[in-house]
Amino acid sequence: MIPETVRQELAGGFAGESQANRKYLFFAKKAEEEINFAPSAEVADLLKEVAELFRETAEEETAHAYAHLVAMEGVHDTLENLKVAFDGETYEYTTMYPASVQAAKAAGREDIARQFESTSSAEKRHAARYERMMQRLKEAYARAN
Amino acid sequence: MSTPTEPTVWGDLDKRFKTDTKKCYYCGICEPLCPAFTPLFKLLSREYEEQGAPATREEFGAIADLCYYCKLCLPACGIGVNFPRLILDYKIARVKERGQTLQNTLLMNQELIGKLSSPVAPIANWALANGLNRRVMEFVVGIDHRRTMPKIAGEPFPRWFKNHPPKKGAGTRKVAIFSGCFTDYYDPAVGIAAVKVLERNGVEMIYPQQRCCGIPMLSEGSLDKALENFKANISVLAPLAKEGYTIVALDGPCAMTFRQEVPQFLGTEDARNVGFRVRDINQYLSEMFKRGELDTNFNPVEGTVAYHASCAAKLQRIETAGFDLLKLIPGLTVARVDKGCCGFDGTFGFKKQTFDLANQVGAELFAWVKSTNAQEAITDCPLCKVQIADGAHVRTAHPVEVIARAYGF
């Protein structure tokens, strides 16, 4: 058993490292976009190096996130992982995003509301895909036994 | 015996379409950005939700025709899909296989049409405004009769420039003007204003031989025609770039083409070097301002203008350049908006089959422009000007025209 205080630290570490990974990947993409509009070859070449630096570091942050998730016992057998994933996506499209849409509309940000709506629709498609896969894997296991 | 292979023009496009659009289907974040995604997702749900037949090449073609190459989904994508390039490659393959349509051939050759029509501009403009003729044009080539056609100029910008050679500057700032075919033959006032503004700031100017930047051909899939123009322009501009000229493009989309498309498609050192030396006129002037070199002795201009940055300006990350310049004019209130694409996009807003859709895309922008009660809408793209004038019923101008006025020209 992981002591609760340690579990919380691991959860915080996992969240932070995961976010750092995504953030660095977006920073890398931004640097690559700037290459298109660089004022000189020297700047363009350096921007390419910056993009590589961000991508490399992002990979290392992934390794950290993975270690924390494993330590906090967040990775299970595949059937259970599919269930966790399905539950997460279902929560997002049934509870989380509908509230986000309302909040954005109330603040007069129709554009952000539409972004939440599109995301929510995709989460629903994710949930359906996980559910179908869960069913297929269960049946395959049943046939194997 | 191996099975016969597909004609090579399609290459691995069918596979790319399948893998890339699957990512789009399960991400969905771009759906509000453009009218192509909702029908795409509807099409793909047949396979992914109903376990039906995969989408065919023809069905993808109908989706491709809804993408107008604004490229705004490119910076928005976090999963590495280059949707505009996928669509572009599809269109290129289709043109290689079947040739270009009459409608696109006509619409992507605005430069030639302008060149041929300008000697008879009054007659051409009468014909373009004539209701009966417009119905015929709609029937024959599919140009929507409701679209106000840009007026053909009696004195094209290249001729004006020849007749009004700019004063010699101090020689410290040397500029080669790339005016773009729209400014040349339909909206020379933008070119004239730019020359006066640059002249006032002591910039030395030349007008090199040039062709349309090539983006109208490229975005309709006529790659060979686009490459012809890319190469012709680079052969003239590369030596000038080496001599230290800055190439100042007067239309946002031309600047974007030189900085992003030409180096990518030609892949030469010359194309890359020209790209480094190209500046949109708004960017060039705002860089001068930042260096303390711009004459800011403007006359006050009372009133409100609404500022819209084109997709090309956004893609070059210079969407505030025109706005920042306008803010320097005393007395002028500048309302700035970020309502996405205007919907015109090269040929999309001309075509009978997409005219209404183009207006739907621009609807939010039109409503916003009206809500500001601005006397004029300002934008860096000539086609945004046409679209906003038609959609929001307001006068339009390029930022450099407003600056020229503030200088008293």
User: pLDDT tens-digit profile of A124-144?
Assistant: 999 999 999 999 999 999 999
Domains of chain A, earliest start first: 4-71 (1.20.1260.10), 78-144 (1.20.1260.10)
Q: Name the residue among B356, B345, B368, B278 with its Cα closest to residue B71.
A: B345
B377 DSSP β-pair partners: B306, B396
Q: In what order do the strands lie in the sheet with B376-379?
A: B332-337, B303-308, B376-379, B395-397
Q: Which of B288, B323, B339 is the last residue of a domain?
A: B288
Regarding whether B124 and B178 lie in a shared domain, the answer is no
Which pLDDT score is estimated for B198? 96
Q: Are B150 and B383 in contact (CB under 8 A)?
A: no
Res B1 pLDDT > 50: no
Interchain CB distance below 8 Å, A37 and B260: yes
Regarding whether B85 and B64 lie in a shared domain, the answer is yes
Res B112 pLDDT > 60: yes
Instruction: Provide, as residue numbers in chain B, all residues whose Cβ is less than 8 Å from the Cβ of A22.
Output: 78
CA distance B116 to chain A (A): 35
CA distance A20 to chain B (A): 14
Q: Is residue B397 part of a domain?
A: yes
Which residues, other chains included, contact A137 with Cβ-Cβ below 8 Å and sequence gap of 6+? Answer: A78, A79, A82
A118 close contact with B: CB closer than 8 A: yes
Regarding whether B88 and B108 lie in a shared domain, the answer is no
Instruction: Provide, as residue numbers in chain A, all residues whose Cβ is less than 8 Å from the Cβ of B276.
Output: 38-41, 44
CATH code, B239: 1.20.1050
Regarding whether B242 and B165 lie in a shared domain, the answer is yes
Q: How far apart are CA A98 and CA B160, in angstroms?
A: 59
B365 residue type, one letter: L
Token match 């100042």: residue?
B248
More confident residue, B332 or B1: B332
3-state class of B335 per DSSP? strand
Regarding whether B251 and B216 lie in a shared domain, the answer is yes
Which pLDDT score is estimated for B11? 87
Mind listing the pLDDT tens digit for each residue in A59-90?
999 999 999 999 999 999 999 999 999 999 99
Res B161 pLDDT > 90: yes
Instruction: Provide, as residue numbers in chain B, all residues whose Cβ is less than 8 Å from the Cβ of A36.
Output: 259-260, 263, 275
Tokens of residue B385, six digits: 């000007």
Q: Could you tell me which chain B residue has the CA closest to the CA of A127?
A: B26
Regarding whether B248 and B177 lie in a shared domain, the answer is yes
Regarding whether B210 and B329 lie in a shared domain, the answer is no
Cα angle B94, B100, B102 (rounded to 5 degrees) comes to: 145
Interchain CB distance below 8 Å, B26 and A126: yes
Interchain CB distance below 8 Å, A122 and B75: no
Q: How many contiguous H segments (helices) and E segments (strands) does chain A have?
A: 5, 0
Q: Structural domain of residue B13, as residue ranges?
A: 8-98
Q: What is the ipTM of this complex?
A: 0.78
Q: Which of B239, B264, B288 is the last residue of a domain?
A: B288
Interchain CB distance below 8 Å, A37 and B27: no
Structural domain count of chain B: 4
Sign of the torsion angle spanned by Cα atoms B21, B25, B28, B31: positive
- Percent of residues, chain B, with pLDDT higher than 70: 98
Q: How far is CA B379 from CA A27, B8, B76, B83, B327, in A?
A: 29, 42, 22, 26, 14
**Range B184-194 average pLDDT:** 97
Which pLDDT score is estimated for A33? 86
Regarding whether B368 and B284 lie in a shared domain, the answer is no
**Range B143-151 average pLDDT:** 92
pLDDT band with cut points at 50, 70 and 90 for residue B231: very high
**Range B20-25 average pLDDT:** 94
CA distance B122 to chain A (A): 41
Mind listing the pLDDT tens digit for each residue in B255-311?
999 999 999 999 999 999 999 999 999 999 999 999 999 999 999 999 999 999 999
B242 residue type, one letter: K
Instruction: Provide, as residue numbers in chain A, all residues whose Cβ is less than 8 Å from the Cβ of B28.
Output: 118-119, 121-122, 125
Which pLDDT score is estimated for B2? 47
Give the mean pLDDT of chain A. 95
CA distance B241 to chain A (A): 12
Which pLDDT score is estimated for B5? 53
Query: CB burial class (10 A; 0-12, 13-18, 19+) of residue B3?
Result: exposed
Regarding whether B399 and B336 lie in a shared domain, the answer is yes
CA distance A81 to chain B (A): 19
Q: Name the residue among B183, B152, B156 with its Cα closest to residue B254.
A: B183
Q: How far apart are CA B242 and CA B248, in angstroms?
A: 15
Which pLDDT score is estimated for A8? 96
Give the mean pLDDT of chain B. 93
Q: How far apart are CA B363 and CA B361, in angstroms?
A: 6
Q: Could you tell me which chain A residue has the CA closest to the CA of B37?
A: A118
A42 close contact with B: CB closer than 8 A: no
Mind listing the pLDDT tens digit for each residue in A3-12?
999 999 999 9
Instruction: Tally Cβ neighbours within 10 Å of residue B98.
Output: 9
Q: Is residue B146 part of a domain?
A: no
CA distance B132 to chain A (A): 41
**Range B238-246 average pLDDT:** 96
Q: Is residue B389 part of a domain?
A: yes
Regarding whether B282 and B354 lie in a shared domain, the answer is no
Q: Is residue B147 part of a domain?
A: no
Res B183 pLDDT > 50: yes
Regarding whether B262 and B163 lie in a shared domain, the answer is yes
Which pLDDT score is estimated for B261? 95
Regarding whether B37 and B110 lie in a shared domain, the answer is no
Q: Are B396 and B281 in contact (CB under 8 A)?
A: no
Mind listing the pLDDT tens digit for each residue in A94-128?
999 999 999 999 999 998 999 999 999 999 999 99
Which pLDDT score is estimated for B66? 93
Which pLDDT score is estimated for B339? 81
- Percent of residues, chain B, with pLDDT higher than 90: 85
Instruction: Provide, as residue numbers in chain B, all residues whose Cβ is less than 8 Å from the Cβ of A33.
Output: 75, 317
> What DSSP letter does each residue of A110-129 carry, written as one string?
HHHHHHHHHHHHHHHHHHHH
Number of Cβ pairs closer than 8 Å across A and B?
52
Query: CB burial class (10 A; 0-12, 13-18, 19+) of residue B248?
Result: buried
Interchain CB distance below 8 Å, B32 and A40: no
Res B84 pLDDT > 50: yes
Shortest CB distance from A37 goes to which of B29, B49, B317? B317
Res B131 pLDDT > 60: yes
Which pLDDT score is estimated for B7? 55
Q: Is residue B92 part of a domain?
A: yes
